[in-house]
Structure 1
Amino acid sequence: MFNIKENQTTVKKEILAGITTFFTMVYIVVVNPGILSGTGVPFDQVFTATIIAAVVGTLWMALAANFPIAIAPGMGLNAYFAVSVVGSSNGEISYQTAFSAVFAAGILFIILSLTPLRKQLIEAIPANLKYGITAGIGLFIAFVGLRGAGIITANEANLVGLGNLHSPGVILALIGLAFSVVLMVMNVNGALFFGMILTGL
């Protein structure tokens, strides 16, 4: 069904890759509700919706496209939604209205994905802009992680300051990060997964 032999892989390798992917992206289940709840959306509702979206999207990619990609709500747009759209409107735009716009955009994108226009739009975006978007989202996720670990904190002088590097949480995060980087340099499969296991222990 999944063309395991044709793709020169094994069930064991795919299960390990799936577990690694899950633990790498499961942060979104907590971070997404944390960001969107600032707009007034109940935390538990966003928590449940995030899980359902990830399950449905990932199963769709697996069963319909036979593609080993995990799908979940993305970082970046949720912050844009919470801060730029709802937060900066001074109460003029409620989260219900903003969600309605997101729903309409989602329907539009689904329709576009069923037409040849989708390919033309993707090809029309310059490569440097695609790389910039990818790097920007990666830096934003790293920023959220560093802030959550306490490595960086808010600072009135220059907005971002160095956190308390002597606190146990920061030391633990740095050890886990260093361990993961060493494993990645050594080309160890599942480096992030093993780094998270060590940090958790």
Structure 2
Amino acid sequence: MSNQSTGLLDRLFHLSENNTTVKRECLAGLTTFVSMAYILFVNPIILGDAGMDAGAVFTATALSAIMGCLLMGFLANYPIAIAPGLGDNAFFTYSVVLAMGIPWQQAMGGVFVASILFTLVSLFKIREIIIDAIPQDLKYAMAAGIGIFISFVGLQGGGIVISDPSSLVAIGSFK
């Protein structure tokens, strides 16, 4: 990379001010991509279970992650990667669509209405009041519960956890 383009990136992203280099940021970006790339493959499987087209979900996942990351980089100047929330998508598929029997198209309408409400709640600073009212331990517990649920779904998909009438779940075959 030429000194001219390095200087442009330094000015654009304030690399010197943040005590970092182009090389370090490129390595961090590559590491982040490799650690997050699983969502490109898992998200279509989960939303495909709801009846959505897996190819379309793959494309939407990739495009939304690209847009989110670019907006974080260029508008906020934060090195934070953004991608669709797997926990939310698992809830959408397994709780709303499959368990409640709501067609995915109708459930998506609900997601759209919820996003408008969330935007209004955020604009009027009500979201901050609600978040500040939740005890920190409960916040940790919710994050852990979502992580365990996603792990459980993955273990079921891999056949490691299977259904058992006497104990609800059992260990599957490792063959």
**Paired residues, what number?**
163
**Structure 2: distance between partners of 1:74 and 1:107:** 17
**Structure 2: distance between partners of 1:65 and 1:35:** 31
2:51 matches 1:40: yes
Distance 1:20 1:164, change over 3 A: farther
After the TM superposition, which residues 1-201 of structure 1 pair with which residues of structure 2 at under 5 Å, given as runs?
1-90=12-101, 93-146=102-155, 152-156=160-164, 157-164=166-173
Deviation (angstroms), 1:36: 1.0
Q: Which has the higher contact order (CA 8 A, sep 6+)?
A: 1
Distance 1:3 1:114, change over 3 A: farther
**Structure 1: distance between partners of 2:30 and 2:91:** 30
**What do the CA deviations read for 1:88-116 (whole angstroms, capped 9, x no partner)?**
234xx211110011011112222333332
Question: With structure 1 as the length reference, what TM-score do the two structures score?
Answer: 0.71
Distance 1:128 1:38, change over 3 A: same
**What do the CA deviations read for 1:135-186 (whole angstroms, capped 9, x no partner)?**
2233334445555666x23141434444555x5xxxxxxxxxxxxxxxxxxx
**Structure 1: distance between partners of 2:152 and 2:55:** 24
Question: Which structure 1 residue ranges, 5 or more long, are not aligned?
Answer: 168-201
Question: With structure 2 as the length reference, what TM-score do the two structures score?
Answer: 0.81
SS class of match (1:64): helix
Q: Which amino acid aligns with 2:100?
A: S
**Structure 2: distance between partners of 1:3 and 1:121:** 34
**Structure 2: distance between partners of 1:9 and 1:115:** 36
What is the alpha-carbon root mean square deviation over aligned residues? Answer: 2.1
Task: Report runs of 4+ in structure 1 exceeding 3 Å deviation.
Answer: 140-150, 157-165
**Structure 2: distance between partners of 1:85 and 1:147:** 19
Q: Which amino acid aligns with 1:120?
A: I
Question: Which structure 2 residue ranges, 5 or more long, are not aligned?
Answer: 1-11
Identity of aligned residues (%): 51
Q: CA contact under 8 A between 1:75 and 1:137: conserved in structure 2? A: no
**Structure 2: distance between partners of 1:24 and 1:5:** 26
**Structure 1: distance between partners of 2:21 and 2:83:** 25
